[in-house]
């Protein structure tokens, strides 16, 4: 078992926990888990967590209890790109001032990552084209499919940004999916596809591998069986030990 890495999603989870008046009863929430990877302790994957630096930046806008769910995959993005991931709770009418400040930061070109835009189809783009000197800020709406749609349609402060609709089936990261568990990609898979399509393939592949390992071991823990993850472990071992971000303990 390992300590919880210090990054935006874990900080948000602690804040959300502190705000809860009663214990959060997520499915699988009563199981004992490693605080670092939220897998059952005997399947801890902390030693294999890849950590990269990237000019690509993510802004996770998370629906209410999403940061508390052990199965949340937005957290995996922050695991891999701790310096490039911001996370906020969603509010329709009272968005976090820090979120608004990030969206206004001239260092970034924000993109709302979503398959379409019902309100304004002219906002939809399929490629990232950055003005000189800007870094991409990919806004991901983290929740169930219904919650994400609600956030996309009811966040006026996001209405001015282009909507980036990636075509995942054309990308290698999409082909690396462990199982076609759902026609909709989960948040970490969307992020991996966005990274690849926007010209950050190394980060995209690392994230896809990390998601695959998490997913494989999460299910193995749930069904009390041994994970079939030798190839994934080998791929992830190539990134070296994630020592940098745990030295603050």
- Kindly list the residues in this chain that would bind Zn ion in the complex (CB under 5 A): 2, 34, 36-37, 44, 46
Cβ atoms 159, 194 nearer than 8 A? no
Q: Which two tokens mark 200?
A: 């950050």
Question: What does the alpha-carbon distance between residue 62 and residue 217 come to, in Å, rounded to a whole number?
Answer: 24
Using CA of residue 242, residue 244, residue 245, residue 247, what is the dihedral sign? Answer: positive
Nearer to Zn ion, 155 or 215 (CB): 215
Q: Which two tokens mark 85?
A: 């991931």
Q: Which two tokens mark 119?
A: 């309100």
Q: Which two tokens mark 56?
A: 């690509």
To Zn ion, the closest distance from the beta carbon of 220 in angstroms equals: 14
To Zn ion, the closest distance from the beta carbon of 37 in angstroms equals: 3
Nearer to Zn ion, 34 or 78 (CB): 34
Question: What does the alpha-carbon distance between residue 9 and residue 60 come to, in Å, rounded to a whole number?
Answer: 8
Nearer to Zn ion, 46 or 117 (CB): 46
Nearer to Zn ion, 101 or 243 (CB): 243
Cβ atoms 92, 158 nearer than 8 A? no
Nearer to Zn ion, 132 or 247 (CB): 247
Using CA of residue 209, residue 213, residue 218, residue 220, what is the dihedral sign? Answer: positive
To Zn ion, the closest distance from the beta carbon of 35 in angstroms equals: 7
To Zn ion, the closest distance from the beta carbon of 102 in angstroms equals: 29
Q: Which residues contact 150 (CB under 8 A, 6 or more apart)?
A: none
Nearer to Zn ion, 44 or 61 (CB): 44
Nearest to 90 by CA among 139, 128, 133, 127: 139
Q: What is the largest CA-CA distance in the chain?
A: 51
Question: CA Rg, the chain, in Å?
Answer: 17
Nearer to Zn ion, 76 or 141 (CB): 76
To Zn ion, the closest distance from the beta carbon of 47 in angstroms equals: 8
To Zn ion, the closest distance from the beta carbon of 91 in angstroms equals: 31
To Zn ion, the closest distance from the beta carbon of 43 in angstroms equals: 8
């Amino acid at each position: 078992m390992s300590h919880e890495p210090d990054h935006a999603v874990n900080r948000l989870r602690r804040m959300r926990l502190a705000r809860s008046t009663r214990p959060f009863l997520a499915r699988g929430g009563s199981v004992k888990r490693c605080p670092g990877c939220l897998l059952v302790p005997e399947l801890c994957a902390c030693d294999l967590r890849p950590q990269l630096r990237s000019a690509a930046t993510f802004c996770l806008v998370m629906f209410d209890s999403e940061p508390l769910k052990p199965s949340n995959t937005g957290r995996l993005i922050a695991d891999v790109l701790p310096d490039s991931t911001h996370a906020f709770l969603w509010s329709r009418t009272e968005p976090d001032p820090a979120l608004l400040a990030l969206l206004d930061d001239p260092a970034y070109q924000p993109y709302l990552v979503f398959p379409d835009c019902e309100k304004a189809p002219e906002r939809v783009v399929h490629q990232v084209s950055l003005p000189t000197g800007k870094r991409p800020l990919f806004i991901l709406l983290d929740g169930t499919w219904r919650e994400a749609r609600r956030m996309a349609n009811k966040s006026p402060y996001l209405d001015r940004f282009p909507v980036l609709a990636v075509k995942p089936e054309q990308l290698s990261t999409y082909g690396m999916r462990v199982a076609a568990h759902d026609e909709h990609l989960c948040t970490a898979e969307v992020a991996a596809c966005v990274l690849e399509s926007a010209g950050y393939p190394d980060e995209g592949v690392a994230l896809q591998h990390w998601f695959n390992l998490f997913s494989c071991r999460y299910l193995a823990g749930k069904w009390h069986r041994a994970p079939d993850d030798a190839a994934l472990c080998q791929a992830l071992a190539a990134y070296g030990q994630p020592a940098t971000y745990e030295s603050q303990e």
